[in-house]
Amino acid sequence: MPGQDELRDFRAKRDARDTPSMPPPKKPRSRRVRHKPGGRPDPGPPPAPMPGEGSPGADAAAGSALRRLATPRPVPVVAGDRGVPARVGPLMVEALLEEWVVEDRWWTGRPVRRRYFELVLAGGRNAVVFRDLVAGGWFAQRA
């Protein structure tokens, strides 16, 4: 059994090894961009719309070039047993990989209740579709 002196020496060496002898290096400071006298630089023209943008009802009508990522899009689905999709568009479903339910924003006036399915379609392509349990309808969504 080690003595008190040996334990004290071991702890001192361990603590010296674990605590750095020098403070960590400082992060480099960001460089400031000098602006024209009197304010900010001219932002220039707005970015060109992405392909597929500019359709009626899109945010482009409001003057914004922003678009949402992974926006659900309606898709025709034929459901089989227990409401599990058997066909998505023209493609047959070969396998059901996973199934889950999302319930969110229940405290607001626009709650979200969706039943998701991760599927393998004919040809080996994976797809994620969901059934909107509040308003109805089937949608595909890319992650």
Give pLDDT tens digits for 12-56: 777 666 555 666 667 776 666 565 565 555 556 666 665 655 544
Give pLDDT tens digits for 95-128: 999 999 999 998 998 999 999 999 999 989 999 9
Q: Rounded to an integer, what distance in angstroms lies between the CA atom of residue 121 and that of residue 95?
A: 7
pLDDT at 60: 46
Say whether pTM exceeds 0.75: no
For residue 82, what is the DSSP state? G
pLDDT at 6: 80
Do 53 and 67 meet the contact criterion of CB atoms below 8 Å apart?
A: yes
126-132 vs 138-140, strand pairing mode: antiparallel
